[in-house]
Amino acid sequence: NTGHSAGWYLESVGMQGMRIGGAMVAHEHANWIVNTGGATTDEARRLIEIGQQRVFETFGIRLEREVVYVPEDILQSAEC
């Protein structure tokens, strides 16, 4: 544990305000994705993936999602 929150890492790699379509990383907190109107699931997922990738490339830390993708995550856990 490094003592930093996921939001701190995401802010540090410039995610605040990043937008793909209608999905945007909140200016108030980089660990929030907001729907600015008409955001799709794929747009939100892409923002999550970009944030995870940037944090890993910069800090060597893999952020884990708190969001559960249904049905993909449910099916994956059932297979284990």
CA geometry: angle 9, 34, 70, nearest 5 deg: 90
Q: Is residue 2's pLDDT more than 90? A: no
> How far apart are alpha carbons 35 and 8 in whole angstroms?
21
Q: What is the pLDDT, as a whole number, of residue 73?
A: 72
pLDDT in tens, 23-73: 999 999 999 999 999 999 999 999 999 999 999 999 999 999 888 887 777
> How far apart are alpha carbons 67 and 50 in whole angstroms?
15
pTM of the predicted structure, to 2 decimals: 0.84
User: What is the pLDDT confidence band of residue 1, given thresholds at 50, 70 and 90?
Assistant: low
